[in-house]
Structure 1
Amino acid sequence: MNQNTLKVNELHEDAEFEENGAEVFDEKALVENEPGDSEVAEEELLSQGATQRVLDATQLYLGEIGYSPLLTAEEEVFFARRALRGDIPSRRRMIESNLRLVVKIARRYSNRGLALLDLIEEGNLGLIRAVEKFDPERGFRFSTYATWWIRQTIERAIMNQTRTIRLPIHIVKELNVYLRTARELSHKLDHEPSAEEIAEQLDKPVDDVSRMLRLNERITSVDTPLGGDSEKALLDILADEKDNGPEDTTQDDDMKQSIVKWLFELNAKQREVLARRFGLLGYEAATLEDVGREIGLTRERVRQIQVEGLRRLREILQTQGLNIEALFRE
């Protein structure tokens, strides 16, 4: 994942909180159950060798949730406000009206170690969490906010259930960055990269890279499959960010607006450094050296300002229940 992808796609994840849709899905398409949703799900299950019983159960579930009407923007605000006050029927209505959103997202994670129904079940837990935390006064649609929670619970389930050794979710995500870089370098260099080569590529301390790599029991091959019936490597367990539909373009715009709002709560220097480092506010993503050269500061000073800016952003986002690590990964 390059840093230009980082600037929206990873902000695209936690940021879906704030006009956060982690995917702003076409509401009309969801009402129509999106052409082929059931058919596509059936094809996916058959390709995975699903039994007729599993297939029937999945189709039954998809058919049942198809009868749950989506909420209009006005209804969404009405029920969300009531849900926040503890109204159970309103909470249930919010959940039932967004079950198709879970299915749409869960399908992106098929063939990655968990059955579709299991992915949907995990995604539903994220949806429930989103209903509990959603504040309609922030001004963005619930589907945008909910997608982050749905994706996080699905990814966490895949990460936890496809590893022999369980690691904290934030550690696994950080490890993914190192392993992804290792695989890219292995193709480029025609040999398995050393910790020093990975550290240089990521502009990270060698000790940090070495420590993280030691956590990976499968580091002997950066392409080692996850095991079971899956041929995917650990690097492949996240949704394919390249397979984005028109709704993702809409969301990218939403994310940019949210990111700009957050950045302007920093001081001017922090804002400029983060914008240049992560390719925001019209800048191209750049290394610490390049940013320093552009603004007349040393690499170390740029790094310090970046740390300060990220720390300040963390404080801002934590007050809103957001996690900065999912927004800015170097």
Structure 2
Amino acid sequence: MKIRIHHPALRELFDQFRFAPTRQQHKYMAAAEKLMLIIDPEQEYPYEFIVYRITGFRPTGFKYEDCLIAGRELLADLRVWLSQVSGRLEVPTAMQQEPIFTVEALAERFSVSEKTIRRWEKRGLTGRIYVFEDGKKRKGYAESAVLQFEREHRDLVTRSARFTKLNQAEKETIYQWARRLAGSPQPLRSRNELLKRLSERTGRARETLRIVLEQMEQQHGPCDALPASRGRLSAREAAQIYKLRRQGVRMCELSERFNKSRSSLYRIINQHRARELLNRKIDYIDSPAFIAEDAETRLLEPPLETLLADSKDGGGLLTRTQESALFCRYNFLKCLAARERAKLRPKQPAVARLRRIETLLEQADCVKQHIIGANMPLVISIAGRHLSAGLTINELIGEGTLSLMAAVEKFDYTRGYRFSTYAGWAIAKDFARKIPAEAHRPDRAGGSDVAGLPHDFRLGNLPDIAAVEQAQHDLISVINSNLDPRERFIILNHYPLDTGVIKKKPMTLKQIGDELGLTKERVRQIELQALQKLRHSLSPEQFDLLTG
């Protein structure tokens, strides 16, 4: 299977390099190798910077102007591209002015495994495809690239060289130690505890010791003295661990109950945290202010209490400035969370990144609660006007609160409108859809339900169900006057405006097409033409009432 370059911006850039002369392609490869040595996998890099470091030119008027590429993804795509272009050029090692090492030769030089060399590639060790003396094409590493990697990662190289491969005698010794520890007067509760003690004694990693014990048991047969391995946890058990931890169960209790080490438990918990964040819907209203260099300092530095300090009349109502600041902060927090989530690795999530995403979303939820709390008088006022609709005041407030929460998510603060106006129409429109205006049941509700409410909670100048119904009737008149019969049929069936007790279910474009003998795509085209006509005849509020 051919390995592809994943990022579209890099894929398009490298496709352009294919038409460059051979000498120029060699220059691009050398520049890319130097770039790989300074790339941090955890950082992001502008597309313009990458192009400049490889070609020496700064692009102008390009479509990826604001594109940021994760360092890990950049390294992976550069490795793929170097392998592809060097394999295509078929450069013999004999033509090189310096020694070229194979994977095997490099592993022998540093006393590490070939797998370790592959891991070093992910850290910046650059290699190309060369044609060696035997006529075969293989991955090779220039001596200059190896020496530079060694200088840049001296600690990594030294640490890797300390690891030695266990011989059979050493494995037998470890197995005998394990049996003695298992038979000691102090019983071992689990295999993890055995591995911990062996690790302290031998200086080897627990995973290495686990594999050694499994191999030795296969050779000598199962040993009853050794604690049995717990094996892999099922998905249900992993979910149970995450749930218990969230409920406050201590790690030592979880370790004893599931016979797993703390590191294994933390890995399982963090994977579930990452999965939960990746499945969460994070939508926000974007703004040019979010991409400024000082955006985080300027938009988040003022404490939330400062923004709410001067609420009008002390009743919790927000001024226009406060509304704008709160919605800006709310959407910016979600924007930051979405950016951080894009860098998240589901299998190996960074704990610091998980914590930052969760903190940002918690702060966003806190801002949202302030907005909802400040606008509850709006909900109560509209609910108090429609007690004759057959619901109690608590039921109406509950429905109105749900509408208010949805309005917070959809409100575009960048347009400069007041949120109270937008939310008022949204709540009234939802009431008009969910509560039949013809239903009058004073036996279930009456004016006494709101008699005890503060006067400030019964605001005026807000839309009610009657206003929305009148707007619907006006809409139908405009539709009948401006559209031909086929356009009318499509609009009135795809966007039903019935105000009766039994609401009409909207028809899909396919259902409408079957009725008219048209394809779904043709119905969509006619609908767009009709909406363009109505856009010139309706006010923004009426058009939103039709299509919202």
TM-score, normalised with respect to structure 2:
0.22
After TM superposition, the score normalised by the length of structure 1 is 0.34
Between structure 1 and structure 2, the one with the greater Rg is 2
